[in-house]
Amino acid sequence: MPTDLNKEAVRLEAEIVSQILALATPGTAAVRNIRRNFSKRIQQADPRTVIELGTRLADRSHTFFRFVGYELILNHQQAMLSLSARSVERLGQGIDSWSAVDCFALILSGPAWREGLVTDTLIHGWAQAIDRWWRRAALVSTVPLNNRARGGQGDTERTLRVCELLQADRDEMVVKALSWALRELSKRDAPAVQQFIDKHQQTLAPLVIREVRNKLRTGLKNPRS
């Protein structure tokens, strides 16, 4: 039998979905405005309701719904602090595209990892998963460790450990994420990234070596000739 918390989550989900579908020109800015309005409304809500709401939205097919669900949790302090390894993985169920993965990792799993709500062991498990999208999620989860705009202060050790686990991966989505993870860290610790590239140049994909070395040398991954 549905609890009052579940009923509230279902009601809010229906409102959010209706408002997003009603947008004449849906885009990130317009969708985020909807999220901000609902964040104000649920500021005092039980964190379990917020997590349930986020999970229900993440279960929907379009990335915009995931985006709103994850941001509602991120911007509700008690809900964010209530996350566990189990709830984070539940929120990531169904990630099956680069946009869904990056939304999950940048907004939710990366910040949860940075704040100690999930462990290195969980992220390392994703890095060794059969599913390409979970391997990408492990790498993209390092970005909030290092990206200043996302609250990162820099974490060379944890970033490079995940990169080492995936250095020889040749899946295109993983290779691109590895380049991204290293380029983001290079803004914080360029010598460590240079050392990593030099040490693993025999196993890293050529794209990773090229883009990261470009970033270290010029500040751009693909500088114009």
Which DSSP state fits 93?
A: T
- Mean of pLDDT over the chain: 95
Domain borders along the chain are 1-82, 97-225
The structure tokens listed for 98 are 């680069």
Residue 118 pLDDT > 60 = yes
Output the furthest CA–CA distance in the chain (Å, rounded).
64
In angstroms, the first-to-last Cα distance of the chain is: 64
CA distances from 71 to 51, 86, 115, 186 (A): 11, 18, 16, 27
| Per-residue model confidence (pLDDT) at position 1 | 40
pLDDT in tens, 47-90: 999 999 999 999 997 899 999 999 999 999 999 999 999 999 99
pLDDT in tens, 183-225: 999 999 999 999 999 999 999 999 999 999 999 999 887 887 6
pTM: 0.94
Specify whether domain 97-225 bears CATH 3.40.50.10260. Answer: no
Residue carrying structure tokens 């990366």: 110
User: Which residue in 50, 125, 31 sits closest to 91, CA to CA?
Assistant: 50
